Structure 1
Amino acid sequence: MNNIFELRGELNSSKPKNNKPVPQLKGLKLETDTIQQFRIQLEKIRQFWESEKYLDGALVSIHYKRVIPKSSRVNRILGTRSKRSSKFICGAKYKGFDENSIGKTHIITYYISIEQLTDTIQLLKFLENITDTQFDGMATEKKINELKSFFKRDSYSYSELVQGFVDLKEIESFSIEKEVLNENGNHMLTFYKTSINLDRLFEKLNIDLLNIEKIDEQTYVFSKRDMDVILKEVPYLVSMGLKDLNEVSPIQFQLSKPIYELKEIPDPDDEPVIGVIDMHFKKGSTYFDKWVDYKRVTSNEIELNAADYEHGTRVSSIIVDGPSLNPHLDDHCGRFRVRHFGIGASGKLNNSTALKQIRDIVENNLDIKVWNISLGSELEVSRNYMSVQGALLDELQFKYDVLFIVAGTNKPAKIVNKSYRIGSPADSLNSIVVNSVSLKKEVPPYARKGPVLSFFIKPDLSYYGGTIEEPINVVSASGEITHAMGTSYAAPWIARKASYLIEKMGIPREVAKALLIDSAADWDTQQQFEVGYGIVPVSIYDVLQSKENEIRFVMSGKMKNTEIYTHRLPVNAIDGKHPFKAKVTMTYFPKCDRYNGVDYSCTELDIHFGRVYEDKKGNFQIKAINANHQGEDGIHVCYEETARKTFRKWDNVKHLEEKVNEKSKDVKAMTENGFWGIKINERERLDEKYGEDIDFGIVITLKEIHGKNRYTDFINRCIAHGWIVNEINIEHRTTIYNVAEEEIEWD
């Protein structure tokens, strides 16, 4: 086996290009009747908002013909002459879902003034008249370009005319979106960000403020009666609605048969600490009691029953001593200390209380880098917006250097035989979400599936969480060793591995996440919405080492400007050819905005990796192993649907790989030195620069297709070309960790 190693060196950066996008008229065919139809829709919308008594302004939704990229969304329509339309976006969702819950088209909602709406109507009248009188009822690229030479400015400039036509090209219709909910029980409603004061609105609707529960500035929990009032009077103000998630509870299937006598283990020393946020831990009854620092967060006024200690105790038992309890799953990570925070009672959690508790717990314990959460909702996540719990975890991971490992949630017992989407907070984008598989690597009946927001691959990974035939051994609250199964008991194993990588090996969390995903994603991986990128190997050695015919190394850094790159990775070339196939995994933790709906992640990092070549202009370029042309100059066109599906645009996990089989052949070196390169481009969904200085982690594997070990040769070539190589030797780094944790006694 070859050790993986860290490659360090200076990456070049490019300053952002100041070129404004040029409106694209290509393919435009717009009839007078279509523009007229749009105008009439907007006039009806204006009429509605002028008579509406609660909101000072207008909410207008644009239905696009497809999943629309940022660059093709309206610019002048619904905007002003000084502000682009994007400044007024307050929500986004999908419609027209396929069998995998993938959205087919975009609906973008804008909050604008009545004056802006009137201005847009006037602009459409102008375009309608031009199309009818100058273009014989059909606006095309050719006709608009011919008009330029004799165009006389009236109310609008020629550039506004062009932008207006380009904006309308992708639009299907305009509407006022109204949220509809028919379920019984309390509901959580999120309102669009507008100028309205929500407390005053509720008073006008005769809703008692004492009877509603505030989750955040725009989100509240209402009774069925109050929700009905809102959806009758102001349904257009509600951007997101779902049944209240008070049902957040332990994710478990318990098999209570005791199987072993009690054990003994040494006292804890300087082992890494993993944070557990769960139901409660039964102090004083388990053999590993000294390994768990239990903190009750639930109010002392609330009485806990015996069942409230069961789930949390079982989860912590895996983190502390899982390999001893399950020798067949010995990950060689040793034991871990646990700081266990007990929240909730009677098997359920109050939503707003739990959110505040989780925030306080993490912010007051920032010395803990890895957190395990095996709690979740029985309800399915929405196709169109992130749960408040998932959004909280994403916010905390964006702000702080922490990593959440989240159980993928189990199906409710009554629907085990049906397909069922995962529940919150397993929709968290930045977290590692873990589903369960059997020891035979089969998906158990209780496992749920993604995607999240109709796009993001969740779960990320799978691990062994037990089945009836092959359960996981855990310690119950009574101290007995017993059987259990569920995603609750798969997640702690990944928390152990993540903590080992971060704490003992000193690896950044971005690289640790990438390593776990990369180790699960074998060559020619097909991502699945039940197992994610694959099943993580049992032994940590298989995460930190590669086969003898593979070279595996990691890189990390911060984004500078909007592009960073290197063209000097000296991949071995034999007789002018590279005998390698490659795979790459990159992860980062972006800022996310729940109010943007399906446009949830604010920053995109796009990676290109492959051989370096010189183009006709004498510039060095990268021939990406996945034929990625996003952001490149020239004739290459990459549509949004392709960019998302093929290159995972807007996903914070990028995994690209070449197929390896018996027909694999060497590839020609494209420069004299046989260099390969990496390029990372940064894009922002909004005008704010959330991606500045964002950290990223990369794992690169080169597989020698003839079975030869070229590990040492590659390292020597890297050193010769100025790279710093730090081998990740498990024994050496463990020794360094142990020495660093020793307490020094001064004489």
Structure 2
Amino acid sequence: MNNVFELRGEMNSSKPKKNRPVPQLKGLKIEVDTIRKFRNQLEEIKQFWESEKYLDGALVSIHYKRVIPKSSRVNRILGTKSKPSSKFICGAKYDGFDENNIGKAHIITYYISIEQLTDTIQLLKFLENITATRFEDTATEKKVRELKPFFKQNVYSYSEVVQGLVDLKEIETFSIEKESINENGNHMISFYKTSTNLDCLFEKLHIDPLNIEKIDEQTYVFSKHDMSVILQEVPYLVSMGLQDLNEVCPIQFQISKPLYELKEIPDPKDEPVIGVIDMHFKKGSTYLDKWVDYKRVTSDEIELEDNDYEHGTRVSSIIVDGPSLNPHLDDHCGRFRVRHFGIGASGKLNNSTALKQIRDIIEDNLDIKVWNISLGSEFEVSRNYMSVQGALLDELQFKYDILIIVAGTNKPEKIGNESYRIGSPADSLNSIVVNSVSLKKEVPSYARKGPVLSFFIKPDVSYYGGTVEEPIQVVTASGDITQTRGTSYAAPWIARKASYLIDKMGISREVAKALLIDSAAGWGNQQKFDVGYGVVPVSIDDVLQSKDNEIRFVMSGKMRNTEIYTHRLPVNLIDGKHPFKAKVTMTYFPKCDRYSGVDYSCTELDVHFGRVYEDKKGSFQIKSIDANHQGDDGIHVCYEKTARKTFRKWDNVKHLEEKVNERSKDVKAMTEKGFWGIKINEKERQDEKYGEDIDFGLVITLKEIHDENRYTDFINRCIAHGWIVNEINIENRTAIYNVAEEEIEWD
């Protein structure tokens, strides 16, 4: 087996290109009747908002014809001469879904002034008139270009007319959107960000502020009565709504089969600490007491029942002593200490209470780098917006250097064999979400599935969480050892591995996440919305080592400017050819915006990896192994749907690989020295530079197709070309960790 190693060296960066996007007239064909239809729709919308007493301005939704990239969204329509329309976006969702639950087209909502709406209507009147009188009822590229001199003496410039026509060609219709909400029970409602003061709004609607629970600046919990008032009077202000029925609960199935086996383990020393946020841990009744630092967060005024200790105790028992309890799942990670925070009572937990407690717990314990959360909702996540709980976990991981492992939630027994989407907070983008599989790697009946926001692959990975035939052994609150199953008991195993990589091996969380996903993906695995990228290997050795015919190395760094790259990876050359197939996994932790709906992740990192070649201009380029041309110079058309499906655009996990089979052949070197290269491009959905200095982690694997071991040769070539190589030797790093954790007694 070959050890994984770190490759360190300086990467070049490119300053952002300041070229303004030019409206593309190519393929333009708009009928005058279409423009007239749009004008009539906007005039009706204006009439509605002018008579509306609760909002100063107008909310206007554009139904696009497709999943629309940022570059093709309207620029002048609904905007102003000085500000593009993108400045006024306040929400995004999908308009319908295909057979795979993937969104068909965007609905983007804009908050603008009545003056802007009037200006857009005037522009459409002009476009309607000129299309009828000058373009013979149809505006085309040729006709518009031929009429360019006409605009020099007109109220609208040629560029405005071109931009307006180009904007219209992507639009299906204009509307005022109203969120569909089930009116049973209490609800958590999020409002669009507008100029409306929500406290004043509630007062006008005669809603008692004492009956409202505030979650954040735009999100509140209302009673059934108050919610009905809102939906009657101001339904257009509601951007998102979800039930708040004390829905957060432990994710578990119980198999009543106690084994009554008593165990003893050594006292803890300096083992890494994993944070657990769960129901409560029973102190004084298990052999795990010295390993678990239990902190009750639930108010002392609430009386806990015996069952409130059961789920949390079982979860922490796997983190502390899982391999001893389940020898067939010995991951060689050792034991871990646990700082266990008990929240909730009577088997459930109020959403808003959980949000505040989770935030406070994590922010008060930033010394813990890995957290396990096996709590979740019975309800399915929305296909159009992130849950409040998932968004909180994403925010905390963007702000702090932590990694949260989340159970993929279990299917309620009443659902049966029907497909059922995962529940919050398993929609968290930055977390590692873990589903369960059997020992045969089959998906159990209780497993739920993604995608999240009709796009993001969730769960990320799967692991062994037990089935009726093959249960997981855990410690109960009474101290017995029993058998159980559920995603709750798959997640802690991944938390153990993540802590081992981060706390013991000294690996960054970005690389640790990438290693776990890469090890699960293997070669030739296809991402699936029930198992994610695959099943993580049992032994940590298989995460940190590769086969003799593989070279696996990791790289990490920060984004600088909008592009970083290197063209000097000295991949082995044999008679002018490279005897390798390659795969790459990259992860990063972006800023996310729940109020942007399906456009949730603010930053995109796009990775290219492959052979370096010299183009006709004498510049070095990268022939990416997945034929990715996004961001390359020249004409390379890549539609948004393709970019998302093929290259995972806007996903914070990128996994690209070449096919490997018995017909695989060597590939010819494209330069004399046979260098390969890496390029990472950064894009922003909003004007803010959230991706500036964002950390990323890369795992790169080269598979020798003739089964030769070229590990040492590759390392020597890297050193010769100025790279720093740090081998991740498990024994050496464990020894370093043990020495670093020793207490020094001063004389």
> Is the TM-score greater than 0.5?
yes
What is the identity, as a one-letter code, of the residue corresponding to 1:554? V
Question: 2:90, 2:734 → 1: CA distance?
Answer: 49
What is the identity, as a one-letter code, of the residue corresponding to 2:694? I
Partner of 1:50: 50
* 2:530 pairs with 1:530: yes
The 10-residue stretch of structure 1 (90-99 or 671-680) with the greater mean CA deviation from structure 2: 90-99
Partner of 1:272: 272
Question: 1:163, 1:103 → 2: CA distance?
Answer: 27
Question: 1:236, 1:506 → 2: CA distance?
Answer: 50
The equivalences for 1:179-258 within 5 A come to 179-244=179-244, 246-258=246-258
Question: 1:329, 1:227 → 2: CA distance?
Answer: 49
Instruction: Quote the offset at 1:184 in angstroms.
Output: 1.2
Instruction: Quote the offset at 1:416 in angstroms.
Output: 2.9
Instruction: Quote the offset at 1:234 in angstroms.
Output: 0.7
CA deviations on 1:152-206 (whole Å, 9 max, x unpaired) are 3322111101110111010000000011223411111100000101111112112
Q: Contact 2:185/2:245 (CA < 8 Å) preserved in 1?
A: no
What is the identity, as a one-letter code, of the residue corresponding to 1:564? I
Is the partner of 1:572 in helix, strand or coil? coil
What is the identity, as a one-letter code, of the residue corresponding to 1:47? Q
CA deviations on 1:429-470 (whole Å, 9 max, x unpaired) are 000000000001100000000000000000000000000000
Instruction: Quote the offset at 1:247 in angstroms.
Output: 1.1
Partner of 2:331: 331
Q: Contact 1:605/1:680 (CA < 8 Å) preserved in 2?
A: yes
Instruction: Quote the offset at 1:596 in angstroms.
Output: 0.1
CA deviations on 1:374-393 (whole Å, 9 max, x unpaired) are 00000000000000000000
Partner of 1:444: 444
Partner of 2:656: 656
Is the partner of 1:501 in helix, strand or coil? helix
Partner of 1:102: 102
What is the identity, as a one-letter code, of the residue corresponding to 1:200? C
Instruction: Quote the offset at 1:260 in angstroms.
Output: 4.0
* 2:34 pairs with 1:34: yes
The equivalences for 1:288-367 within 5 A come to 288-367=288-367
Partner of 1:690: 690
CA deviations on 1:65-121 (whole Å, 9 max, x unpaired) are 000000000001001111110000000000210122110000000000000000000
Question: 1:171, 1:470 → 2: CA distance?
Answer: 54
The equivalences for 1:165-176 within 5 A come to 165-176=165-176
Q: Contact 2:511/2:698 (CA < 8 Å) preserved in 1?
A: yes
What is the identity, as a one-letter code, of the residue corresponding to 1:76? R
The 10-residue stretch of structure 1 (91-100 or 152-161) with the greater mean CA deviation from structure 2: 152-161
Is the partner of 1:151 in helix, strand or coil? helix
Question: 2:515, 2:260 → 1: CA distance?
Answer: 35
Is the partner of 1:152 in helix, strand or coil? helix
Question: 2:244, 2:78 → 1: CA distance?
Answer: 34
Question: 1:730, 1:688 → 2: CA distance?
Answer: 41
Question: 1:129, 1:246 → 2: CA distance?
Answer: 57
The equivalences for 1:639-654 within 5 A come to 639-654=639-654
* 2:169 pairs with 1:164: no
TM (normalized to structure 1)? 1.00
Partner of 1:734: 734
Question: 1:307, 1:221 → 2: CA distance?
Answer: 28
Partner of 1:497: 497
Question: 1:586, 1:726 → 2: CA distance?
Answer: 19
Question: 1:673, 1:586 → 2: CA distance?
Answer: 26
Unaligned runs of 5+ in 2: none
Q: Contact 1:179/1:231 (CA < 8 Å) preserved in 2?
A: no
- Pairs aligned (count): 747
Question: 2:353, 2:154 → 1: CA distance?
Answer: 59
Is the partner of 1:488 in helix, strand or coil? helix
CA deviations on 1:44-81 (whole Å, 9 max, x unpaired) are 00000000010000000000000000000000100111
Question: 1:245, 1:423 → 2: CA distance?
Answer: 14
* 2:678 pairs with 1:678: yes
Question: 2:714, 2:447 → 1: CA distance?
Answer: 42
CA deviations on 1:226-268 (whole Å, 9 max, x unpaired) are 1111111111000001111521100000112111411000000
What is the identity, as a one-letter code, of the residue corresponding to 1:691? G
* 2:133 pairs with 1:133: yes
Question: 1:536, 1:263 → 2: CA distance?
Answer: 28
CA deviations on 1:577-596 (whole Å, 9 max, x unpaired) are 10000000000000000000
Q: Contact 2:183/2:228 (CA < 8 Å) preserved in 1?
A: no
Question: 1:323, 1:95 → 2: CA distance?
Answer: 47
Question: 1:604, 1:179 → 2: CA distance?
Answer: 28
Question: 2:482, 2:698 → 1: CA distance?
Answer: 40
What is the identity, as a one-letter code, of the residue corresponding to 2:677? G
Question: 2:635, 2:68 → 1: CA distance?
Answer: 20
Question: 2:699, 2:710 → 1: CA distance?
Answer: 18
Q: Contact 1:515/1:699 (CA < 8 Å) preserved in 2?
A: yes
Partner of 1:561: 561
Partner of 1:399: 399
Partner of 1:512: 512
Q: Contact 1:46/1:117 (CA < 8 Å) preserved in 2?
A: yes
What is the identity, as a one-letter code, of the residue corresponding to 1:27? G
What is the identity, as a one-letter code, of the residue corresponding to 2:116? Q
What is the identity, as a one-letter code, of the residue corresponding to 1:450? G
Partner of 2:9: 9
Q: Contact 2:184/2:224 (CA < 8 Å) preserved in 1?
A: yes
Question: 2:598, 2:30 → 1: CA distance?
Answer: 29
CA deviations on 1:603-659 (whole Å, 9 max, x unpaired) are 000000000000000000000000000011112111000000000000000000000
TM (normalized to structure 2)? 1.00
Question: 2:491, 2:618 → 1: CA distance?
Answer: 50
Q: Contact 1:586/1:699 (CA < 8 Å) preserved in 2?
A: yes
Question: 1:445, 1:170 → 2: CA distance?
Answer: 43
What is the identity, as a one-letter code, of the residue corresponding to 2:371? W
Partner of 1:571: 571
What is the identity, as a one-letter code, of the residue corresponding to 1:687? D
Question: 2:152, 2:475 → 1: CA distance?
Answer: 82
Partner of 2:373: 373
Q: Contact 1:612/1:670 (CA < 8 Å) preserved in 2?
A: yes
Q: Contact 2:151/2:158 (CA < 8 Å) preserved in 1?
A: yes
What is the identity, as a one-letter code, of the residue corresponding to 1:43? E
What is the identity, as a one-letter code, of the residue corresponding to 2:601? S
Instruction: Quote the offset at 1:720 in angstroms.
Output: 0.3
Partner of 1:714: 714
Partner of 1:464: 464
Q: Contact 1:245/1:377 (CA < 8 Å) preserved in 2?
A: no
Question: 2:304, 2:126 → 1: CA distance?
Answer: 69
What is the identity, as a one-letter code, of the residue corresponding to 1:628? N
Is the partner of 1:632 in helix, strand or coil? coil
Is the partner of 2:257 in helix, strand or coil? strand
Q: Contact 1:180/1:235 (CA < 8 Å) preserved in 2?
A: no
